[in-house]
């Protein structure tokens, strides 16, 4: 992180300089900058790459192969005041799908 030597506020990269958000002080970049992303605006994708053993299962029909059992888990993808998203993964063909409430 780079902080302004004048007012101690965080500086943000703009082109080849760093600019203070508060007072406008500028200084030349030195080395690599770290860009912060707003986590609330980022969309996360859940990917299970390993075999899904040990996860809870439920009776759910796979839209691809018609198998009647799937692993399931919950993720909070939207704001905290909205319902979680339920993910399913077929125990047979490994197709993953989601369900919104």
- Active-site positions read 81-82
Render 71-100 in DSSP notation, one character per residue: EEEEE--S-TTSPPEEEEEETTT--EEEE-
């Amino acid at each position: 992180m780079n902080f302004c030597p004048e007012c101690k506020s965080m500086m943000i990269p703009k082109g080849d300089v760093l600019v203070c958000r508060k007072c406008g002080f500028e200084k030349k970049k030195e080395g690599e900058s770290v860009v912060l992303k707003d986590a609330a605006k980022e969309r996360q994708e859940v990917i299970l790459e390993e075999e899904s053993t040990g996860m809870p299962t439920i009776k759910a029909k796979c839209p691809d192969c018609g198998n009647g059992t799937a692993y399931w888990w919950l993720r909070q993808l939207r704001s905290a005041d909205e319902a979680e998203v339920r993910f399913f993964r077929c125990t047979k063909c490994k197709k993953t799908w989601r369900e919104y409430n």
